[in-house]
Amino acid sequence: MQTIDEALSKLKKSDFRSRFHLKQKDIDYINEKGMNKIRSHAEDFVRTRLAPKYIPNDGKQTPMRGHPVFIAQHACACCCRGCLNKWYRVARDKQLNEVEQQKIVNLLMAWIEREYNDYNSNKE
């Protein structure tokens, strides 16, 4: 099992995954809502969009913009069950348990926090 740091390092090497970054609008949203609320949104999105055994629109359920968590899901290959299977060998046809959901949320939040900190440190 890989660590969050190992996963993020591997994702950075992907031409597609490494193209995703938070934009000013996302930073403003995080500043307005706070990281705890963003985590709550991530937990909800993972629970409702990734965790079910059957997802009727799998592969199309995660928008490419509009929320920092959506951007993180694409950057971290946690946007659909197909990507979860390809990158992390998560079976496509099983309900994700609480531990699996929390691991995904932790990865997403680690990516968001790094992007947020990088964005703010580059502004100075």
| pLDDT average per 10 residues of sequence, the chain (124 residues) | 91 96 96 98 96 90 93 97 95 94 98 93 73
pLDDT of residue 39: 98
pLDDT of residue 82: 94
pLDDT of residue 59: 85
**What are the distances in angstroms from CA 94 to CA 74, 89, 99, 115?**
21, 12, 14, 31
Q: Measured between alpha carbons, how far is 40 from 96 in angstroms, rounded to an integer?
A: 17
